[in-house]
Amino acid sequence: MDSINFKFFLENDSNPFILFTNQGKIKYLNTSAELLMGSCQPKDIFKIALTHAPKTFGSQKTALNLSFNSFEFYGINVLYDDEEYIGIHLYNKPLAKIDDNSLLEGYTLTDINVLLQANIELFNINYKGEIKLLTDYDIPQFQIHQNNFSLLLRNVFTQFEESTKLEILIKIKLGERVVVKNERYSIIIIQLKSNRRKESIDREIELLAHKNHINIHFKKQEIILEIPAIQ
């Protein structure tokens, strides 16, 4: 056992692992945790680790829902065997799977940037604030129901009508795939952030998103869409 390179297996685990000092400084994090750090603060993870640490040396698993932007977890494992270091493993929610036989009815190969830009211009006709768009123009075309997706976007945009600034980011979600009829596809993230968001129709928007097999996450000043990039 001493000859086995356990660090290799830990480094390449799809679940984030972070090792903290007892002062909350990061001593080590694996590749998955490096990606996660772009969406949260280390102090937040350290606080979670302390809250759910076992009362004595050892490990303690806890089932709980955690969300950091587009990263979602269903549980954690907190470990320590001395007073100097404490580690935390975060367990990714299971890979999304879509088996709806009618999924691609009405779908068209689409440039998501072009479709998004068209809906932004429509919203901007009456919008009084400033819109900032950051996008990845290398995202390939994929199948989407253009009318249904535009309807979803129009409803999402209405939540930001009273904001003075709207930031929109579109990118490929790293390290995660969606399974559609036994094929794996990338996930496209559209993130909308502002200084003000109306929450009155969150439920209606959520139902519309799920009808189109799009995961949606609501925060006080932010909405995140996760779209399967079906080729």
- The letter for the amino acid at 15 is N
Percentage of the residues of the chain whose pLDDT score is greater than 90: 48
Tell me what pLDDT residue 65 has. 83
Tell me what pLDDT residue 185 has. 85
Which single residue is written with the structure tokens 């990714």? 92
Q: What's the pLDDT band for 49 if we cut at 50, 70, 90? A: very high
Tell me what pLDDT residue 124 has. 92
Q: To 10 degrees, what angle do helices 202-211 and 146-158 make? A: 160
Above 60 in pLDDT, residue 57?
yes
Within the chain, residue ranges assigned H as helices are 6-11, 31-36, 42-51, 112-124, 146-158, 202-211
Cβ 70 vs Cβ 224: under 8 Å:
yes
Above 80 in pLDDT, residue 7?
yes
Query: Which CATH homologous superfamily contains domain 98-228?
Result: Histidine kinase-like ATPase, C-terminal domain (3.30.565.10)
Tell me what pLDDT residue 12 has. 85
Which single residue is written with the structure tokens 């211009």? 121
CA 94, CA 178: separation in Å to the nearest integer?
A: 10
| Mean residue pLDDT across the chain | 88
- With CA atoms as reference, report the closest residue to 230 among 163, 189, 184: 184
Above 60 in pLDDT, residue 119?
yes
| Domain 6-92 architecture | 2-Layer Sandwich (3.30)
Q: What's the pLDDT band for 35 if we cut at 50, 70, 90? A: confident
Domain boundaries, the chain: 6-92, 98-228
Tell me what pLDDT residue 170 has. 93
- The letter for the amino acid at 122 is L
Q: What's the pLDDT band for 86 if we cut at 50, 70, 90? A: very high
pTM of the model: 0.66
- Per residue in 124-174, pLDDT tens? 999 999 999 998 888 999 999 999 999 999 999 999 999 999 999 999 887
162 SS3 class? coil
Average pLDDT of span 75-96:
89
CA 191, CA 170: separation in Å to the nearest integer?
A: 6
Q: What's the pLDDT band for 93 if we cut at 50, 70, 90? A: confident
- With CA atoms as reference, report the closest residue to 31 among 46, 15, 45: 15
Handedness of CA 61, 220, 171, 29 (dihedral sign): negative
